Amino acid sequence: MKILISGFEPFGGMKTNPAMELLDEIKEKSSDQLEIYTILLPVVYSECGEKLVEKIKAVEPDAVIALGVAKGRASMQFEQIAINMEDVGSEKEIADNAGDTPKGRAVITNGPDGYFTTLPIRHLNAVLRQSGVPSAISNSAGTYICNTTMYHMLHYVRRALKPIPAGFIHVPAVPSMAVNEPHIPTMTLSAQLQGLQAVLLELERME
């Protein structure tokens, strides 16, 4: 089985991104039965989705998991839906790494309003909890780069006759990101890795 996992560069003044660090760690778990491919994506609205779709076309994986950090969330969260909206908000806007600050722009002009994930997220959420990793289902991937990436991925995947499982997991901040913001919830990289591995093993088992 081939699984493609994507992550992101740091953004918004962060020095690291667990969604980048996890890629190196998970690549080491590749085996003959489970080939793991990874791609690091730029935190840029106009590039993130295209780069991921290009990689899906090149690798032809049996499943795709996109990862991103969501500072403030306390558990690993399976995103249910991506929406056709790019918006950096009006209060604390964070430009993307190319300085783009969209306000209510479509991800794909005239595309559907939203796409549901094709990952069996309820089942995977239960599996993660059983393996001792705090996890939840989220009904909003936001309107920043993670949502845009998920939308492009599903726009591509959902057109296939038999769509492969494809979804987005938001991970919490790691402790090093909370040193000067000690109120934000964190989860160690090793706990996040344990959760990601449990997801991959289950996808392999279900194949």
List interacting residues with ligand PCA (CB under 6 A): 8, 11, 17, 19, 43, 68-70, 142, 144-146
The rounded distance, in Å, linking the Cα atoms of 107 and 109 is: 7
The rounded distance, in Å, linking the Cα atoms of 137 and 42 is: 25
CB of 191: closest distance to ligand PCA in angstroms? Answer: 17
CB of 39: closest distance to ligand PCA in angstroms? Answer: 13
CB of 137: closest distance to ligand PCA in angstroms? Answer: 16
Indicate the DSSP class of residue 177: G
Query: Residue 207: which H helix or E strand, with range?
Result: none
For ligand PCA, the nearest residue by Cβ is 146
Q: Residue 17 is encoded by which pair of tokens? A: 């991104």
Residues contacting residue 115 through CB under 8 Å, at least 6 positions apart: 81, 82, 150, 151, 154, 155, 158
Give the residue ranges of DSSP H helices in 60-188.
Answer: 121-130, 145-157
Q: Which of 165, 172, 194 is nearest to 4 (CA)?
A: 165
CB-nearer residue toward ligand PCA: 72 or 132: 72
CB-nearer residue toward ligand PCA: 146 or 196: 146
The rounded distance, in Å, linking the Cα atoms of 37 and 100 is: 29
CB of 155: closest distance to ligand PCA in angstroms? Answer: 17
Look at residue 11 and give its three-state secondary structure.
coil
